[in-house]
Chain A
Amino acid sequence: MKKLKSILSMILEIEESSINDQTSPDNVESWDSFNALMIVSELEKEFKVRFTMDEVTAVKCVKDIKESLKRHGVLLQEE
């Protein structure tokens, strides 16, 4: 979770502490379509996974990202 938060925080320019499961493009202004792609690209690189197209288009909030990562076998430690 720490790495996920730091990637989101870096790209979206928001505090790590402000990120939770409900964080989404609806409540973060900087989460535009380009930043969404950058999140995909950097998560894939960091966790060495490849998301499917459906997974990418289905993401509505941080919780969805976490579930996708879990499906790819990435263990996220909850703090």
Chain B
Amino acid sequence: MTFKNLSHYIDEYKKIQSASADNTMKKFKVAVLSSSTIKGLKEVLTVKCHDLGLFPEILLGEYNQYNQEILDDESKLYRFEPNLVVLFIDTRALLGDVFFDYYTLSAQDQKCLPALKKEYLDSLIARMKFKLKAKIIIHNFELPCTTPLGILENKQALGLVEFIETLNGDLRDGFKSDSQVFVFDYNSFLSNIGKREAFNYKMYYLADIKIDLSYLPALADQYLAYIKPLISMTKKCIVLDLDNTLWGGIVGEDGAEGVKLGPTPEGRPFMEFQKYILSLFSRGVILAVNSNNNLDDVLEIFREHPYMILKEEHFASMKINWNGKVANMKAISEELNIGLDSFVFLDDDKFNREMIKSALPQVKVVNLPEDPSLYLEVITQLDDFNTFQITGEDMKKGQMYAQQKKREEFCKSAYDIKAYLKGLNIITTIQKANKFNVPRISQLTQKTNQFNLTTRRYLEEEIKQFSDSTDCIVFSIKVEDRFGDNGVTGAAIVKKKAKEWIVDSFLLSCREIGRGVEEVMLAHIFEEAKKEGIGRIIGEFIPTKKNEPAKDFYQKSGFILTEKVGDMELWSRDVAGGFPYPEFIEVIKAS
């Protein structure tokens, strides 16, 4: 991997300072605290975010002031109120004199060190967790590659290297089930670059630089992998070309038996590329095909080729025709009901890539290298599928989209919409916000555009605050039908006032619209309001470019437009009389 020079980023940074922020994007703040000089990182990170259309506020802590920043209640860090904090303490700073004096210590003192250091780090993290709602990223520690004991290093009771290893292991284990704290494997990051390459002694002695300036862009990329899920900028679907992408050669010319795929030097890169894509499918990434080919040729490979790893059942959509890549891409987006900004496109052909890039700039187009032996390296570097937590919905997403195919076929065979909905045997489960569905509710507020009445974007920590408050009701809805489980696809946030309740957020994934689920959600709100003797429900509606499908919802549901505040419409309906649940849907209320 090559990176642009630091000066390039600093130059770009100055240029974008005047640019205006895209106001539909969720605002977020990142703080980086470090024990060594990482001047320039702010500029790099800002430029890299800007390239993705993001305008974060970034606070770079003063050099080696992380202790004070964390311990002082009035510090810049706490006044800044970041959404993400990176704590980057390097091995030399953590150990101080012990870095050199380790082997002058008694075995007893050495033995105490891992727990002592872990305790210290825990106390810093605990302080931040107490003061901040932010996600916290802590670097683990670089393992030294040389020690004074040389080949006897690992014959010690607890050698220096083993001490750091132990500390890294304890860090990992300590935060394994912590949804707020993430350990960044800085040691592996450095190994990947080469530790001798990353550490420049002269720069270290001159300015306490412990990672060479030229690798700050690489480090910023690592932080981006955490920023993307923070704002739910997660890709959902990989769209694949076939010839020279999933196999070597062109099936139309070389025949199914002539393509390169299998345990040979030329075939293995494609086979392993497919295996990696299959593992992405298993973590919930949706797959689709976009290929200019004859369908029969392709199906022969999918069905007959002994080393074809990916099968038809793994793909939610297959566009194999001569309609052109751009048209196919749009068709896949419509068929799966996923926005173009959720797609990653993989194609060996530069011309096709450029075409997609210019026609559909929302799609992430990966530059596959000319040499197929490098495909795997490129795809393993993608950091677009990260989430802070793999939700149940995420894991099953590939499967769910395959079920949707069957659902649509059933719709075509039903007489009318009512019979269709009845025949679906929909079961909905309403669940108050809890620690399991909060990440999903936040994700829904950030990703749902069409059936979203106010399009208010909330981070996980904000949803948690609402649900902890007694003045708020936050719930999610899970939908199942005869074809399978769609998972949690809707949510609402209701703010309680003395006489009336205000629907702050009300949203439903677009693939559920028009099946009565939105009525279930509304009926639930009315039911709860009635129990508490509330007079009326006020529904807020804020029009956007994308939420046309939700425009008439309150009107159709018997609400009356009472007021307009700027763009926002306020709709009202009395609670007396209630709002009926649809007949054909079973409603379960989970405790």
Q: Which residues of A contact B (CB under 8 A)?
A: 7, 10-11, 33-34, 37-38, 40-42, 45, 50-53, 56-57
Contact of A11 with B7 in the complex, beta carbons under 8 Å: yes
Contact of A42 with B7 in the complex, beta carbons under 8 Å: yes
Complex Cα gap A12–B211 (Å): 22
B19 within 8 A of A: no
Q: What secondary structure prevails in chain A residues at the interface with B?
A: helix
Q: Which residues of A contact B205 (CB under 8 A)?
A: 53
For A38, give its contact among B40, B200, B202 (CB under 8 Å). Answer: B40
Complex Cα gap A17–B385 (Å): 47
Give the number of A-B contacts (CB < 8 Å): 43
Contact of B209 with A37 in the complex, beta carbons under 8 Å: yes
B95 within 8 A of A: no
Q: Which residues of A contact B6 (CB under 8 A)?
A: 38, 41-42
A45 and B207 in contact, given A10-B11, A52-B202 (Cβ under 8 angstroms)? no
For B7, give its contact among A7, A33, A53 (CB under 8 Å). Answer: A7
Q: What secondary structure prevails in chain B residues at the interface with A?
A: helix
Complex Cα gap A79–B517 (Å): 75
Q: Which residues of A contact B209 (CB under 8 A)?
A: 37
Q: Which residues of A contact B214 (CB under 8 A)?
A: 41-42, 45
For B203, give its contact among A10, A37, A42 (CB under 8 Å). Answer: A37
Highest count of chain B CB atoms <10 Å: which of A34, A37, A38, A42: A37
Contact of A45 with B5 in the complex, beta carbons under 8 Å: yes
Contact of A56 with B7 in the complex, beta carbons under 8 Å: no
Total chain B interface residues with beta-carbon distance under 8 A = 18
Complex Cα gap A53–B203 (Å): 8
Q: Which residues of B contact A37 (CB under 8 A)?
A: 203, 206-207, 209, 213
Q: Which residues of A contact B8 (CB under 8 A)?
A: 10
Q: Which residues of A contact B5 (CB under 8 A)?
A: 42, 45
Q: Which residues of B contact A (CB under 8 A)?
A: 5-8, 10-11, 39-40, 200, 202-203, 205-207, 209, 212-214
Complex Cα gap A51–B212 (Å): 14
Contact of A53 with B206 in the complex, beta carbons under 8 Å: yes
A51 and B213 in contact, given A33-B207, A34-B39, A42-B6 (Cβ under 8 angstroms)? no
16 pairs, A vs B, C-beta closer than 8 Å: A7-B7, A10-B11, A11-B7, A33-B207, A37-B203, A37-B213, A38-B213, A40-B202, A41-B200, A42-B7, A42-B214, A45-B214, A52-B202, A53-B202, A56-B202, A56-B206
Complex Cα gap A2–B206 (Å): 27
Shortest CB distance A14–B (Å) = 13
CB-based nearest A residue for B8: A10
Shortest CB distance B211–A (Å) = 11
Complex Cα gap A37–B207 (Å): 8
Shortest CB distance A36–B (Å) = 9
Shortest CB distance B526–A (Å) = 62
Which 5 pairs from chain A and chain B are nearest by CB? A41-B213, A11-B7, A53-B202, A10-B7, A42-B5
